[in-house]
Amino acid sequence: MSDLIKSYEDLRLKNVVTYIQSGNVVFSTDEKIAPRELSQKIEHKIAESFGFDVPVIVRTCEQLQQIIQKNPFLKNKMVNPEKCYVTFLSEQPLKEHVNQISKLDFMPDEFLVADHDIYLYIPDRYSDTKLSNDFFEKKLKVRATSRNWKTINTLVEMCAEK
């Protein structure tokens, strides 16, 4: 993880901290740059430094806080938060693609597309769901990466410590 931190610092990003061995990175920057452009810079640096292509999706601390506040599944008191996930999309998918997948039924697994994020409730094992990053990338034609509810909450806590 120290090499990953160094890569971020090489891009003049500051206060770089990683969360476990997950590829989650919290950082700050003084540069005024669009999230998509920043994602591309980081993707390029990771490819250059480590030799592999991974989707890098940037969310601000405020956006992560809003994601926590707006989780539609947590309104149901029967939902176990540990079974909630969020799939972060590289950009907002086309409405026609969202409409196509919204008609599909994967019960007991559920999902809700909200702009450029997808809320998931997977009551059984996440590894068994058809609602994978690959599924969403193919159907929505955007890049995707998912995080469990604990990770998202931990990232918000890390932001608060900065």
Intra-chain end-to-end CA distance of the chain, in Å? 19
Give the pLDDT score at 1.
74
Its pTM stands at 0.92
Is it the case that residue 142 has pLDDT exceeding 80? yes
pLDDT band at 17 (very low <50, low <70, confident <90, very high): very high
Q: How many CB atoms lie within 10 A of CB 115?
A: 11
* Per-residue model confidence as pLDDT tens digits over 111-129: 999 999 999 999 999 999 9
Q: Which domains does the chain have, with CATH numbers?
A: 2-50 (no CATH), 72-148 (3.30.70)
d(CA 126, CA 128): 5
Is it the case that residue 97 has pLDDT exceeding 70? yes
Residues in contact with 111: Cβ distance below 8 Å, sequence separation at least 6, in sequence order: 87, 118, 119, 120, 121, 131
Q: How many CB atoms lie within 10 A of CB 42?
A: 20
Residue pair 113/102 in contact (Cβ under 8 Å)? The answer is yes
d(CA 144, CA 39): 12
d(CA 125, CA 160): 30
Q: What is the mean pLDDT of the chain?
A: 94
β-pairing verdict for 84-89 and 144-148? antiparallel
Lowest mean pLDDT among 1-5, 10-14, 93-97: 1-5
Bridge partners of residue 109, in order along the sequence: 106
